[in-house]
Amino acid sequence: MENKTVKHNPFPLLQVIGFLLSIALTFTAVWIGVRTDLSYNAIIILVFALAFIQAAIQLFMFMHVSEGEHGVWQVGKMFSAAFVALVIVAGSVWVLNSMH
């Protein structure tokens, strides 16, 4: 029988940092949407970019995607799933916009 010792940090510093970053990104997106004079398309692009960054932070900080034996494979699967979702969404928007 193998005895593995697991180190547990009593204070979850990475989770607190991830939480604070998520809150800061949310408030930044709200500020961009409410307080700036940017065009509607620019606001949408910036809010989606901030949402993507926040999702990545949550995947790595809270869901521990890169940890474990198959961390590299999990990240690769996440990127391939994101690519498929992007192709489906972009294709759907293209088809719906080009119909007569």
pLDDT by residue for the chain (100 residues), tens only, comes to 555 665 666 788 888 998 999 999 999 999 999 999 999 999 989 998 999 899 888 887 877 666 666 667 777 887 888 899 899 989 998 999 888 5
Supply the pLDDT for residue 11: 83
Which domain range does residue 38 map to? Answer: 12-63
Burial 37-50 (b: 16+ CB within 10 A, else e): eeeeeebeebbeeb
| 7 within domain boundaries | no
Pair 25, 46 in one domain? yes
| 6 within domain boundaries | no
CA distance 82 to 63: 16
Pair 21, 46 in one domain? yes
| 2 within domain boundaries | no
